[in-house]
Amino acid sequence: MNKWETIKKTARELRRNQTSEEKILWNKLRNRQLDGKKFLRQHPILVQDSAKPEFYVVDFYCAEYKLIIEIDGKVHDFQKEYDKDRAQVLKSLDYQIIRFNNEELNDIEKVLNNIREYLV
> What's the rounded Cα separation, in Å, for the pair 116 and 77?
27
- Domain with 46 in it: 3-116
Which DSSP helix (H) or strand (E) runs through 80?
Answer: helix 80-92
The reply to whether the predicted model has a pTM over 0.85 is yes
pLDDT at 34: 98
Q: How far apart are the first and last CA of the chain?
A: 40
| CATH number of the CATH domain containing 41 | 3.40.960.10
8 Å CB contact between 91 and 111: no
pLDDT at 76: 52
Mean pLDDT by 10 residues, the chain (120 residues): 82 89 96 98 84 81 97 72 87 95 95 96
Q: Count of domains in the chain?
A: 1
